Structure 1
Amino acid sequence: MAKYLLLALVTVPFLELYLLVGIGRHLGLLPTLALVVAMGLIGASLARREGLRVVRRWQEAMAQGRPPEEGILSGALVLLAGLLLVLPGILTDVVGLVLLVPAVRRRVAARMRASLERGMRNGSVRVSSYGWGGFRGPGLREAAPTSRLPGEVDAEFTEEKPGR
């Protein structure tokens, strides 16, 4: 996963620059700059509206006592779309706009969920939770112990100063 992220961080800026130069040659400097600024403003507005819609649907579902239809991944994808739309560039704007389409976002979230579940089953993805030392308020309960790999142990280390 890290190698794909690194690859994207290296190649996407070059692709964006290539596209901007090509569009700039075809349209001119000012129209290209206007296009990038307009896409950022429109995208930020759409991301805000879509994010508020997701939150509103979550609240309605919770008020009716049923689980929200759109999960955490969908909300995270709206956040990612907003970030991509604010970044200058044509490629990131297109990906951000596509992620704001609810049908596309649901499909991407379903694929991400399936990938996470597969990774958790085969052990390549592990989920850990950290609590606040024994505090358990109303409605909170202690988490079940996590599964351990063979030979895995919990350990705490302290450093002792010489001469003690």
Structure 2
Amino acid sequence: MTTSTPQPPAKRSGLRRWLPLGVAAWIVIEIWLLILVGEAAGGLVVLALLAAGIIGGGAVVKRAGRRAFGALTQTLQQPPTAAPRDRAEGNGFLMLAGLLLMIPGLLSDVLGLVLLVPGIRGALSRRVERTMQRKLDEATGGAFGSAYTRARTQRPDGKVVQGEVIREDAPPEPHDEEPHDEEPRDEDRRPPLTP
């Protein structure tokens, strides 16, 4: 009879350990702030603040979505040889700002309003992009990161050129003027060119 020793439970990562506690603390602080404002200014003011946050956040998310779609359309319509135009910088953080405004609570509204400042949003966007590029280079040894950059900047234009491949290593066959009735061989058949 074999006895197995019980395995100790796997250690949880720091994020998995502290994230639920952070979310719970965030919720408690949001409720406490709403109660303080409600006691100081009244329940209607709190309700108006929450409604303004939801409406304003929805407008910001809608604007960020339009900017992202416009940037995508512009990127797809420009020729690949054209210089890349300035892209909408910090669009992801603009979307995050709108979502933070839509979440009921005053602390999330303040963070959303801070992210609406263009300078802060642009700086955060550049920092996140540099961090992600560095981590990508570390994980792949730099090869994948440079290939990703080349793929982002060199897009095929999608043009189709009609043509036929002519092999120069084989001598051209003489063409008879008279039509013959024999069936063409398999190697003489060519697939049709399709547009």
TM-score above 0.5? yes
Superposed CA deviations along residues 95-142 of structure 1, whole A, max 9, x for unmatched, are 223323333222111111122223234449xx9xxxxxxxxxxx7xxx
CA distance in structure 2 between the aligned counterparts of 1:60 and 1:98, rounded to whole angstroms? 28
Q: Find the counterpart in structure 1 of residue 15 from structure 2.
A: 2
Structure 1 residues 54, 68: closer, same or farther in 2, change over 3 A? farther
Structure 1 residues 122, 60: closer, same or farther in 2, change over 3 A? closer
CA distance in structure 2 between the aligned counterparts of 1:75 and 1:54, rounded to whole angstroms? 7
* Aligned mate of 1:91, from 107, 110, 120: 107
* Aligned mate of 1:70, from 87, 94, 97: 87
CA distance in structure 1 between the aligned counterparts of 2:103 and 2:67, rounded to whole angstroms? 22
CA distance in structure 1 between the aligned counterparts of 2:106 and 2:23, rounded to whole angstroms? 15
CA distance in structure 2 between the aligned counterparts of 1:7 and 1:68, rounded to whole angstroms? 43
Q: Find the counterpart in structure 2 of residue 59 from structure 1.
A: 73
- Higher mean alpha-carbon deviation, 107-116 vs 53-62, is at 53-62
Matched, 1:110 2:126: yes
1:137-148 to 2 correspondences below 5 Å: none
Structure 1 residues 30, 94: closer, same or farther in 2, change over 3 A? same
Q: After TM superposition, give the deviation of residue 37 of structure 1 in Å.
A: 1.0
Structure number, greater radius of gyration: 2
Gaps of 5+ in 2: 1-13, 145-155, 157-195
Q: Percent identity?
A: 31
Give the partner amino acid of 2:34: L
- The answer on whether the counterparts of 1:16 and 1:91 sit within 8 Å (CA) in structure 2 is yes
- The answer on whether the counterparts of 1:81 and 1:100 sit within 8 Å (CA) in structure 2 is yes
Q: After TM superposition, give the deviation of residue 59 of structure 1 in Å.
A: 2.4
Gaps of 5+ in 1: 128-138, 140-164
Give the partner amino acid of 1:38: A
Matched, 1:30 2:44: yes
Structure 1 residues 105, 62: closer, same or farther in 2, change over 3 A? farther
Superposed CA deviations along residues 14-68 of structure 1, whole A, max 9, x for unmatched, are 2211211111111111111111111211221122123313432342344234546
| TM-score normalised to structure 2 length | 0.52
Count of equivalent residues? 125
Task: Let me know the Cα RMSD of the aligned residues.
Answer: 3.0
Q: After TM superposition, give the deviation of residue 74 of structure 1 in Å.
A: 3.2
Structure 1 residues 97, 52: closer, same or farther in 2, change over 3 A? farther
Give the partner amino acid of 1:39: G
Q: Find the counterpart in structure 2 of residue 150 from structure 1.
A: none
- The answer on whether the counterparts of 2:61 and 2:94 sit within 8 Å (CA) in structure 1 is yes
* Aligned mate of 1:15, from 1, 12, 29: 29
Structure 1 residues 63, 13: closer, same or farther in 2, change over 3 A? same
